[in-house]
Chains A and B, each alone.
Chain A
Amino acid sequence: MTEVLIAGAGITRFGRTEDVSGRQHAVRAVTAALADAGIEWSRVGAAFGGSDAAGNADTLVAELGLTGVPFVNVKNGCATGGSALVSAANAIRSGMADVVVAVGFDKHPRGAFDPRPADWGLDEAYGRDGLMVTTQFFGMKIQRYMHDHGISARTLGLVAEKAYRNGALNPNAWRRKAISADEVLASGMVNDPLTRFMFCSPGEGAAALVLCAPHEGVPVTLRAAEVRTRTFGTFEVFSPWVPGGELTSVSRAAATAVFERAGLGPGDVDVVQVQDTESGAEVMHLAECGFCADGEQEKLIAEGATEISGTLPVNTDGGCIANGEPIGASGLRQVYEVVLQLRGRAGVRQVPGGPRVGFTHVYGAPGVSACTVLSG
């Protein structure tokens, strides 16, 4: 199968602005990725991208150039960036084009998301009675996980503390001020057991990648990218009911598939980015993606294993907690960070020892996950 290389990666500052649209962020990210690759837009043979709430990616040709390039809009919730990347990689593998762009961007209003029940196939009562709230799900999932696997509230505090510490080292992060675990725990309960500073906030930003067929001098390979939707027995956002017995996981399914395709396993990975919508998500996703056993996180996190200098560096750019959650952009933000790490160009947040393999993972409603494995 044709190898797919990452020739260029670009990102904007994440956060919240008054005067920059989501589309403008996207143009900046694509322009930065092209400059990084040393490739003109006119050389791009196909493009895939999207946002959840900031418009259509194919309209970006107005600013990028009217070259006639096939540009496919992708709208797949939290997997928008990952799905764009899968499509872009397949375009290279199929021979459709030898230079392909993937872009994810978004811009959300302040406050929690306010989805409409009908869009999710649910009765209006779920919205009317206050159950269409994503943060509730995250609270309930980690609440049960803590009960079953001995994870403490302190560990949730430490996950957020690390996110803000890493964010302070990332010039593109939204939250760049260190916050201690004690401050995180005391920041006010939002959805028990999760406090305000444990959550990411909906925000804005964009990330873009330029993919190419095998080419000299391009050091980062996209080994595999996979997207999965839920199967029976998973516990998801906006579920009126969940089957009894042991839970399955869409993240576990996507991670298993991506490792199989890459011919690598979790033990080969030197730098990890997982969806950290809030502290509990990072804890649970580490186990679901195969990096530790359920409950082992309590010890790993206390020992500092998930720090940049640890044995399993996780969310080295500060993750969603420090960067915010522009839904369409987060998946490609993670890939951008892994590309920097594998090139050895992550500056003050560089994972020591020359990382060779990186992994990314996003998760979202209604039970979708996208994962990638990259190697340097």
Chain B
Amino acid sequence: MTLSAVGELWTWTVQRFEPKSPPYVPPPGGFAPSAVGYVELPEGVRVAAVLDTDDLASIRIGMPVRIEAGVGVPRARSADD
């Protein structure tokens, strides 16, 4: 089945502390608080993803998000970006 690329944010949180390494590998610029969540797709599945945003305060349940598979875990960002 091919899943849609756009869905709604089902839930989210912000990772405010640096996870232990290993297994965590911080990005080149070092750890910064970042969002994670589950994206609900129309096909009836909620997919865990890192949520890329410049504004952690703007995250809301139900907001439209676009999700992409790639290297690593799926990544999502606001569909309005």
Contacts and interface: CB of A to CB of B under 8 A. Distances in A.
Interface of A: 111-112, 114-117, 123-133, 136, 139-141, 143-144, 147, 188-194, 239-245
7 contacts: A114-B19, A130-B34, A136-B13, A140-B11, A191-B14, A192-B13, A244-B44
Contacts of B17: 112, 190
Contacts of B73: 123, 125-126, 129, 131, 240
Interface residues of B, number: 30
Contacts of A130: 15, 19, 24, 34, 36, 50
Interface of B: 10-17, 19-20, 22-25, 34, 36-38, 40, 43-48, 50, 61, 71-73
B15 A191 contact: yes
A193 B59 CA distance: 12
B58 to A, nearest CB: 13
Contacts of B12: 140, 143, 192
A36 to B, nearest CB: 39
A2 B24 CA distance: 50
Nearest to A239: B48
A112 B73 CA distance: 21
Contact of A116 (B23, B37, B43): B23
A130 B11 CA distance: 17
Contact of B13 (A112, A116, A139): A139
B61 A147 contact: yes
Given A126-B73, A140-B38, A244-B40, A132 B14 contact: no
A243 B36 contact: no
Given A124-B23, A130-B19, A193-B13, 13 more contacts: A114-B19, A114-B23, A116-B23, A128-B25, A129-B73, A131-B36, A136-B36, A144-B10, A144-B61, A189-B14, A191-B14, A240-B48, A244-B40
Given A114-B23, A125-B72, A140-B37, A133 B47 contact: no
Contacts of B23: 114-117, 124, 126-128, 132
